[in-house]
Amino acid sequence: MSSSLSFQMLLYYHFFFNILYLAVIFTTLIYKLWIFKFDIIVIIALIIGVLIWFPVEMARLNFGYKGNINETFPELIAFIIFTIFFIIPFSVVPYIQGLKFPHENPLYYINFIFIICELVLGFVVMCRFMNTQSAAFYLRTAPLIDRIFKLKYQKNSEVKSSREVELGLRKFDKMHDAAGDTFDDSDAMRESENIPVSGAAKKEL
């Protein structure tokens, strides 16, 4: 299994932080709209941006969570695209505004740390999935493209088939099994033992 527990925990904690982030930033923007009489258009634009940011952020975390658990590329690629082209701009715009309260900067910094760590771990997990699935694909296609591997595989199957007949797991078939030499090893072992049979055992027989 190639899933990353660190990446999964990071997404889990970021989800709960986003709820706190939304509550604090949204109420702060509403307070600014109520108190300040200038830059009203900018504040309204920021409020709309926050309302758009939250569902996009939830979709991004969902893509990352499912992509990591199911080890699928489409979800991880969608997670990285959402992070780079949507979440980073939505997170930078409130930070570069002129008027900010003291409690806003720590929230922005923590959010930036989450985003950067998730982006780095997302690339690492995707590269790990790529290597794992490439190896699995080679194992599935090796008997078809590698003649030496194919011969070894066929020989292994023949040995396994002969062993199943000797153990009684499958009936002996003259058309498919080896021609008369399937029981040679077991017969030779039986002849070498030469166990004497007692009189009582003969009477029972």
- For residue 24, count CB atoms less than 10 angstroms from its CB and return exposed for 0-12, middle for 13-18, buried for 19 or more: middle
Q: Does the pLDDT at position 109 exceed 70?
A: yes
pLDDT at 107 over 50: yes
Contact 54, 25 (CB under 8 A): no
Q: What per-residue string of b and e applies to 51-83 under the rule 16 or more CB within 10 Å gives b?
A: eebbeebeebbbbbbbbbeebeeebbebbbebb
Q: What is the mean pLDDT of the chain?
A: 79
What mean pLDDT is predicted for residues 148-163? 53
- Three-point CA angle 91, 93, 96, nearest 5°: 115
What distance in Å separates the CA atoms of residue 26 and residue 48, rounded to the nearest whole number? 10
Domain boundaries, the chain: 5-142, 146-204
Count of beta carbons in the 10 Å neighbourhood of residue 29: 21
Using pLDDT thresholds of 50, 70 and 90, give the confidence band for residue 204. Answer: very low
pTM: 0.66
Q: What is the pLDDT of residues 38-75, one digit of tens each?
A: 788 999 999 999 999 999 999 999 999 999 999 888 99
Tokens of 43: 């504040």
